[in-house]
Amino acid sequence: MIEVQQITKRYGQHTALDRISFSVAKGEVLAFLGPNGAGKTTTMRILTCFMPATEGIARVAGFDCADQPMEVKRRIGYLPETPPVYQELTVTEYLRFVGRLRGLSGNILTSSMQREIERLGLGPVQHRLIGNLSRGYRQRVGLAQALLHDPQVLILDEPTVGLDPKQIIEIRELIKNLAGSHSVILSTHILPEATAVCQRVVIISGGRIVAEDTPEQLSARLRQSEKISLTLKSPTVDTESRLKGVQGVQNVFAGGDSGTFLLESELGRDVREEIARLAVTSGWGLLELKAISMTLEDVFLQLTRHEEGLVQDPVPTLVESTGQRA
Amino acid sequence: MTPVQAIIGKELRSYFVSPVVYAVGAVFLLIVGLLAYLYVVFAGAQAIQLMQVQGSAQINLNDLVFRNLFASTRFILLIVLPILTMRLFAEERKLRTFEFLLTSPVGINEIVAGKFMGVFLLFLGLLGLTGLVPLVLALFCDFDWYPVLTGYLGLVLLGALFLSVGVLASALTENQIVAAFVSIGLLLVLWLLSGLGSLLGDTAIGQAVTYLSFMDHYDHLVRGLVDTKDLVYFFSSLALMLFLAHRVVDSARWK
């Protein structure tokens, strides 16, 4: 549905995007992750035909963004970073204007407006001026605008910014429901969001794609050892050395005087059962024992902190930093 | 409803929600009304003088009132119309709706046309209200309607030109004040070109410079002369300004 091949975008001397390639299948949800200024918005602007790429090809639904922008624009719903709303219009006036710009009219326009007003919970505010609405409602109006003509492709630049937690969950549900029938690209700073709604994550940094995979695989790929956190009520002096003696345990870090230990074991080996047995038989007072999985946040930080050469070498040696973080 | 109609409707709606239109409209109508009153009073004073000297008076309202009024209105439009056009593109860029507009399946020519038509209709409405002046005068005295109507045609064409310059200026910046200032500046330069032209005298360059200014073309219409040459001037300059606005909007995407 979306195909990006070797897109480069230069602003004068500055290269904002450097040979980016990726694709989104029909019905797939793809998350764009990256620090500020990584090139997320630029990529989205190229896909929506707002600006042309310096080099490379971008295709949406089989139409080239440079050659057939009208066909592309008809098939895209786009929510920019700032919701593009006219403050002096009411919600219904605004949506009617948007619909007419996109060639909707008559009953189709009315029913589309009704559908989006209902879907995004805009009923109570539909006759109010957008300028008087809260940030969250404006964001929802922006989403309603993107969805109004039921586009095949949705491009959402940080769709949940400014929403309260309940609304965030609702919008994520909405995006999940759209998957399957729509192709979605969304950019986000909130990492759990990518895990929650997306099948695939593209991490972009400094204008380059540094990783592309499912959220689970990304974290698995960057993990070199299993990590376990252990909290004991009354550890003894030899606890640390005895924990080290358990088969499979590679490293033990004592976490101060609170009785917390961080254990590292071989990849693919779960030593929790033995640790639990040891703790109970030694009378250390086992309070907590849990495996620490690497969050997408860790992955993200690792990848974007060390930009060079990561695509070639997907398993970098960055375990120390994670160890300290955990 | 076509996209152009949708944009026209939206622009008109935006204008009437904002207080700017009411302020600008009120000031415009007030000044035009006041000037009309003053010119009529002057004409009356002249008539009284003539009566005292000659015993009878035939005064020409077309010369004494309407020509003066059309000449003054030209200057009021130069100040007022840039205030109306300054928001058209500048506001879109400031409020980040520009990107939305340009990613809609609407051509830039349709966007420019819609915005121009919206403000042009608003201007026609304001100008229509000044029609009360000749209508009221017609109740009390006789005058020749023909030059009044061609004068109004001149105002419509002049207004369209001013508005198109304003649209261009608004596309150049995201600051509304700058947009208004740039269009007033451009219009003043166009105005002064006629002075420069007469300074250069009856040479080819002088004639060309004079032709570039709207002054002579407008004056012909106010005097009741409808010349194709003048109409060509207004329509071609209008088209040029809107074309430039189109190019500016298009190039704004590249930044």
Report the complex ipTM. 0.88
Give the integer Cα–Cα distance in Å for B197 and B210: 5
The predicted-structure confidence for B40-83, as pLDDT tens digits, reads as follows 999 889 888 888 888 777 778 888 889 999 999 999 999 999 99
Q: What is the pLDDT of residue B160?
A: 96
Instruction: Dump the DSSP string for A11-60.
Output: ETTEEEEEEEEEEE-TT-EEEEE--TTSSHHHHHHHHTTSS--SEEEEEE
Residue A59 bridge partners (DSSP): A3, A64
- Give burial (CB, 10 Å; 0-12/13-18/19+) of B3: buried
Q: What is the pLDDT of residue B154?
A: 94
**What is the distance in angstroms between the Cα of B40 and the nearest Cα belonging to chain A?**
41
What per-residue confidence (pLDDT) applies to A269?
A: 76
- The answer to whether A297 faces chain B, any CB pair under 8 Å, is no
Given a cut of 60, whether residue B21 has pLDDT beyond it is yes
Calculate how close chain A gets to B93, using CA atoms only, in Å.
Answer: 10
What do you get for the CA distance between the two ends of chain A, in Å?
40
Flag if A100 and B1 touch (Cβ within 8 Å).
Answer: yes
Is there a contact between B3 and B116 (Cβ–Cβ < 8 Å)?
no
Distance from CA of B141 to the nearest CA of A (A): 45
List of long-range contacts for B19-28, beta carbons under 8 Å, 24+ apart: B20/B83, B20/B84, B20/B87, B21/B84, B21/B122, B24/B80, B24/B83, B24/B84, B25/B126, B25/B129, B27/B80, B28/B76, B28/B80, B28/B126
pLDDT by 10s per residue, chain A, length 326: 899 999 999 888 888 888 989 999 998 999 988 877 788 889 999 999 998 899 999 999 889 988 899 999 999 999 998 899 999 999 999 999 999 999 898 899 999 999 999 988 899 999 999 999 988 889 999 999 999 999 999 999 988 887 888 888 888 888 888 888 889 999 887 777 777 888 888 888 888 888 888 877 776 666 666 778 888 888 888 888 888 888 888 888 877 667 788 888 877 778 888 888 888 888 888 888 887 766 666 666 666 665 443 344 333 333 333 333 33
Asked if B105's CB is within 8 angstroms of A101's CB, the reply is yes
Residue in B9, B14, B99 closest to A80 by CB: B99
The model carries a pTM of 0.82
pLDDT at res. A222: 61
Residue range B161-184: mean pLDDT, rounded: 95
Please give the Cα distance from B140 to A19 (Å, whole number).
78
CA angle A180, A141, B11 (to 5 degrees): 125
* Residue B219 pLDDT greater than 60, yes or no: yes
pLDDT of residue B148: 92
Q: CA nearest B8 in A: which residue? A: A97
The contacts found for B51-55 with CB under 8 angstroms, 24 or more apart, are none
Amino acid at position B244, single letter: L
Secondary structure of residue B225 in the 3-state scheme = coil
d(CA A98, CA A23): 28
CA A194 remoteness from chain centre? 3
Q: Which amino acid is at A72?
A: V
State in Å, rounded, how far the first CA of chain B is from the last one: 32
Best mutation target among A86, A92, A96, A149 (most B Cβ atoms within 10 Å) is: A86
Spell out the alpha helix ranges (H) of B201-214. Answer: 204-212
Looking at the DSSP assignment, which residues form a beta bridge with residue A228?
Answer: A263, A291
Q: Which of A89-103, B191-205, B227-241 is predicted least confidently?
A: B191-205
Mean pLDDT throughout B157-166?
Answer: 96
- Mean of pLDDT values over B195-217: 88
Read off the tokens for B207: 């004639």
Q: Which residue type, as a one-letter code, is found at position A226?
A: E
**Cα radius of gyration (chain B):** 20
Query: DSSP letter string over A154-196?
Result: EEEESTTTT--HHHHHHHHHHHHHHBTTBEEEEEES-HHHHHH
Position A320 scores a pLDDT of 36
Give the closest residue to A155 by CA, choosing from A64, A8, A42: A42
The pLDDT score that the predictor gives to residue A164 is: 83
| CA dihedral sign of residues A141, A145, A147, A150 | positive
Q: Using one digit for the tens of pLDDT, what is the confidence trace for B92-105?
A: 999 889 999 999 99
- Rounded distance between C-alpha atoms, residue B205 and residue B197, angstroms: 8
A85: closest chain B residue by CA: B97
Predicted confidence band of residue B106 (pLDDT cuts 50, 70, 90) = very high
- pLDDT number for residue A216: 75
What is the number of other CB atoms lying within 10 angstroms of the CB of residue B229? Answer: 11
Question: Does B231 or A164 have the greater pLDDT score?
Answer: B231
Question: What is d(CA B80, CA A247) in angstroms, rounded to the nearest whole number?
Answer: 86
A vs B: CB pairs below 8 A: 70
pLDDT of residue B202: 82
Picking from A100, A139, A147, A150 by the largest number of B CB atoms within 10 A of its own CB, the best residue to mutate is A100
- A193-249: pLDDT as tens digits: 777 888 888 888 888 888 888 877 776 666 666 778 888 888 888 888 888 888 888
Contact yes or no for A88 and B3 at CB 8 A: no
